[in-house]
A and B are shown apart, each in its own frame.
Chain A
Amino acid sequence: MKRLILPLTAFLFFIMEGSFANLLAGDIFGGDKIIVPRFIMILVAFITIYGSRRTGMVYGFILGIMYDVVYTEILGIYMFMLPFFAYLIAKIMRIFQSNLLVTILTSLVFITLLEVIVYQINLLIGFAHMEFNTFLEIRLVPTLLLNLAFLIVFSYPLKRMIEKQELESAGE
């Protein structure tokens, strides 16, 4: 049963992202801003840092495929980016100490990277028509603020949960 906690959390985050997106698009949060929940990216970053690189990349790949199929209907982008980012995060984390603050900052940096790269790909295939300044103003800044709030609330429980899982699987 305990082994299922992480996959279930991942699935819950995945569903939450879709429902949240509809909620955040509403007028309560200001309809003219585009706020993108990036909970999956955060989860992949945490798994990579507190778990292992391999687990991080596997989760990134599976969640990425599901994201592409269920949400964006453009296959490939997230399926490729999430495991690739997990790999990069693992490389970077060899240099830094992994305390909670560094983890939060790393997550935010990689959310920014993800946003910018996905924006560029969409520009390339003709889905995005936004200028870079507009992108920064109505999309990137609100997105980072939301995800920072999410990180502040959930980073500690997430860290504990993943570390516990890691200990258990190492002990077997």
Chain B
Amino acid sequence: MPQFFNKKLILLLAGIIVLVALIGFSMRERETLSWPEQFFKDTTGWFANAFDKPVSAVTGLFENLSDLQNTYDENAKLKARLGEYVQIKTEVQALKKENADLRKILDKEDDLSKYSPIQATVIGRNPDRWNELITINKGEMNGIETNMAVITADGLIGKIKSTTPTTATVQLVSSGDPNNKISASIVQQDAANGIIEGYDDKQGYLLMKRIPFDKEIKIGSIVETSGLGGVFPSRLIVGKVVEVKVDQNGLNQTAYLEPATDFYDIKNVIVVKREVVGDEEAKGEGKE
């Protein structure tokens, strides 16, 4: 039966089967990458790092020029806020001291919001922007581990998805990956916890789901990480509530957040290592 045995058709079908199997394989939440993947990523990471230097020098020049144009206005604004700053600074110092004293009285040393930072530069980004991933130039050798939080000066941008010895991949909060979840809480008199999952591409809002229906949420409240997830420290700013909707079944609410950071213009990031190790982590299953 030579006519049924079309070689090309069989090759195509085999290809599709392999495709589906591979997608299924990579959709699982993997803790570590296989060594060929690590090797590829490391090698290209090295070249990308070298390539990035001249490119960022040129773009940096253009950005500096456009920054210069706004300098006068910014300066006037900043001067006006300087007085405010001194006052807040003294207040913060007093509060910090009081906090430390009270902790000593309570004999409580652990603090979920304590962390040590690791600075890193972005050397690449997933060009097909469905799964929003960026590559940074620090890896396992610098102490980076899977699931650590990643922030910029403005607030949270994502978490470490995978690591190789010299690079790491950050999954942005705005990524559409269904496994991409971050536990957060809304800061107000009666704090409300929820989970950040999903992103509205058109409006640029993050979706915070599973907030109990009886919580009253003030528009404009700040949203922070709650530190309940396991490896994230608490009190990293995520965004601001702009809209609240009740889910279809009426049991939960969904808040729409305006992100504190820009997910588009990312150049330098800080990887955050929490000082208090979660219970799960201590048992050796660092899964969120």
A interface residues (Cβ-Cβ under 8 A, vs B): 11, 14-23, 25-28, 31-32, 34, 36-38, 66-80, 84, 118-119, 121-122, 125-130, 134, 138
Contact = CB atoms under 8 A, between A and B. Distances in A.
A134 B59 CA distance: 29
B264 A74 contact: no
B19 A76 contact: yes
A74 B201 contact: no
Given A18-B48, A18-B135, A71-B133, A77 B126 contact: no
Tell me if B's interface is mostly helix, strand, loop or mixed.
mixed
Contact of A15 (B44, B176, B202): B44
A22 B176 contact: no
Contacts, number: 143
A79 B22 contact: yes
A38 B127 CA distance: 8
Contacts of A121: 23
B191 interface: no
Interface stretch (B76-84, B96-104, B117-125, B248-256): B117-125
B40 A66 contact: yes
Contacts of B15: 80, 84
30 contacts: A15-B44, A15-B47, A15-B124, A18-B135, A19-B51, A19-B52, A19-B124, A20-B127, A21-B126, A25-B129, A27-B264, A36-B128, A67-B128, A69-B41, A72-B131, A73-B162, A74-B27, A75-B23, A76-B19, A76-B22, A77-B19, A77-B23, A79-B19, A80-B15, A84-B12, A119-B130, A122-B130, A126-B176, A130-B201, A134-B201
Interface secondary structure of A, over-half rule = helix
B59 A23 contact: yes
Interface residues of B, number: 53
Contacts of A75: 22-23, 25-26
Nearest to B16: A80
A109 B16 CA distance: 22
Contacts of A26: 59, 264-265
Contacts of B62: 28
A77 B127 CA distance: 14
A34 B125 CA distance: 12
Given A18-B125, A73-B161, A134-B202, A126 B41 contact: no
Given A16-B51, A75-B25, 17 more contacts: A14-B44, A15-B124, A21-B125, A21-B129, A25-B125, A25-B129, A25-B264, A25-B265, A27-B264, A28-B62, A66-B44, A69-B36, A70-B40, A70-B44, A73-B133, A122-B130, A134-B201
Contacts of A21: 124-127, 129
Contacts of A76: 18-23, 26
